[in-house]
């Protein structure tokens, strides 16, 4: 085994397991191109680029209203941002535009090797707010984040309360524990050798396929069996099977994560639950859940094994926001993975997003300049 590992190391000294997952990333991207050729690719809303940086692109939309609430949509940096704008009828971007909001989407790009939590949860998002201010004159935004993107949005709100007019968290875990009670990934980290050992074994860029594998190991039900069940149930509806296949195509668009970002998440969040404890170190500043003061709306799924209510409710209780609201998403047919259903599902767009948009209008303070 040692001789094989030595033979398979690359020029940068990367062990064979990481090289295997890098190859998997390339293979999955090729599979995604095949699905594009079959007509299962995304149908995104025409956009314009406001900011192009080393790790992100910020997109705006020409059809946006002139004076509606500004919403910054923050995806998880593990896959492509178009899950927020998958296709007509399954698009948060279009739901915002139809109701007169001004959406902007953070599209994460190839990460820098030294980019950590302080960059993703503070510096990069502040750069986005500055670009939005230059574009429309409004220096605050409602920041909405999904999954890991919700973690970044919440930390940003704690560090920059003056820039956040409202905080919307969609399936975002904020309370962490090695037990399965706060989510399925905690036990996986423990089984991988513990927090500190796992963090020190990471490459400069962690292949997206490895993170996908970790998700499957953490919850084979959510990322395996439920996908097949959803496929069979979707066969009864052309629209449902179309969305299912478009989500499956999206899952193949792997994006590596900066090793330093993963290390920060593993050590500070999964290892120490530092954000909830009020000890999260972020670029020389301390972030705490109790320092979130913006109006807060959290959306969770009652039976989600990936982000269960126990990973969300303690944060909602700890936040210092005067305005707090909790919404529950019961799931959909035709979304492949229920964890992303609240972005693309029929029920989500028929029932959930009208409530979210109404809430955004209710908390929006207007153009503050």
The answer to whether 269 touches 134, Cβ cutoff 8 Å, is no
Distance of CA 34 to the CA centre of its chain: 25
Is residue 170 packed enough to be buried (19+ CB in 10 Å), middle (13-18) or exposed (0-12)? buried
Q: Please write the tens of the pLDDT for every residue from 81-114.
A: 999 999 999 999 999 999 999 999 999 999 887 8
> 3-state DSSP: the chain helix, strand, coil percent, rounded to 5?
50, 15, 35
SS3 of 10, please?
A: coil
pLDDT band at 203 (very low <50, low <70, confident <90, very high): confident
Q: Which neighbouring-strand residues pair with 72?
A: 104, 143
Q: What number of other Cβ atoms are within 10 A of residue 277's Cβ?
A: 13
Say what the pTM is.
0.89
User: Model confidence over 210-235: pLDDT tens digits?
Assistant: 777 776 666 666 566 788 899 899 99
Rounded Cα–Cα distance for residues 43 and 326 (Å)? 31
Higher pLDDT, 103 or 201: 103
Q: Helices in the chain by DSSP H: which ranges?
A: 2-7, 16-37, 92-98, 117-118, 124-136, 148-159, 185-191, 195-200, 208-218, 220, 226-234, 238-251, 259-264, 274-277, 313-318, 338-344, 346-347, 353-363
Q: Is 292 exposed, middle or buried (0-12, 13-18, 19+ CB in 10 A)?
A: buried
Cα-flanking dihedrals φ and ψ of residue 207, to 5°?
-55, 140
Residue 4 CA, distance from chain mean position:
36
- Tell me whether residue 198 is exposed, middle or buried, using C-beta atoms within 10 angstroms of its C-beta: 0 to 12, 13 to 18, 19 or more: buried
pLDDT band at 15 (very low <50, low <70, confident <90, very high): low
Query: In the CATH hierarchy, which top-level class contains the domain 17-363?
Result: alpha beta
């Amino acid at each position: 085994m040692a001789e094989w590992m030595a033979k398979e190391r690359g020029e940068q000294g990367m062990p064979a397991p990481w090289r295997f997952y890098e190859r998997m990333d390339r293979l999955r991207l090729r599979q995604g191109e095949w699905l594009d050729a079959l007509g299962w690719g995304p149908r995104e809303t025409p956009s314009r680029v406001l900011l192009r940086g080393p790790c992100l692109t910020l997109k705006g939309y020409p059809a946006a209203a002139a004076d509606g609430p500004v919403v910054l949509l923050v995806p998880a940096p593990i896959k492509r941002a178009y899950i927020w704008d998958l296709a007509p009828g399954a698009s948060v971007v279009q739901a915002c535009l139809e109701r007169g909001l001004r959406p902007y989407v953070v599209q994460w790009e190839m990460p820098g090797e030294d980019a950590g939590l302080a960059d993703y949860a503070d510096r990069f998002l502040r750069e986005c707010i500055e670009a939005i201010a230059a574009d429309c004159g409004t220096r605050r935004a409602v920041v909405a984040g999904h999954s890991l993107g919700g973690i970044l949005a919440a930390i940003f709100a704690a560090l920059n309360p003056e820039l956040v007019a409202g905080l919307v968290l969609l399936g975002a875990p904020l309370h962490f524990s090695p037990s399965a009670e706060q989510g399925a990934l905690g036990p996986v980290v423990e089984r991988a050798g513990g927090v500190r050992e796992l963090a020190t074994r990471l490459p400069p860029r962690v292949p997206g396929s490895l993170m996908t594998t970790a998700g499957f190991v953490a919850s084979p039900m959510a990322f395996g069996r439920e996908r097949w069940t959803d496929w069979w149930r979707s066969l009864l509806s052309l629209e449902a099977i179309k969305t299912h296949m478009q989500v499956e195509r999206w899952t193949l668009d792997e994006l590596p994560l900066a090793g330093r970002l993963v290390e920060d998440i593993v050590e500070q969040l999964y290892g120490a639950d530092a954000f909830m404890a009020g000890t999260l170190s972020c670029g020389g500043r301390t972030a705490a859940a109790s320092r979130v003061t913006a109006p807060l709306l959290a959306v969770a799924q009652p039976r989600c094994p990936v982000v269960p209510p126990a990973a969300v409710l303690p944060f909602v209780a700890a936040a210092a926001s005067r305005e707090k609201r909790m919404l529950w998403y019961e799931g959909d047919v035709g979304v492949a993975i229920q964890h992303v259903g609240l972005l693309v599902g029929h029920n989500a767009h028929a029932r959930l997003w009208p409530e979210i948009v109404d809430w955004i209008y209710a908390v929006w303070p207007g153009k503050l300049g």
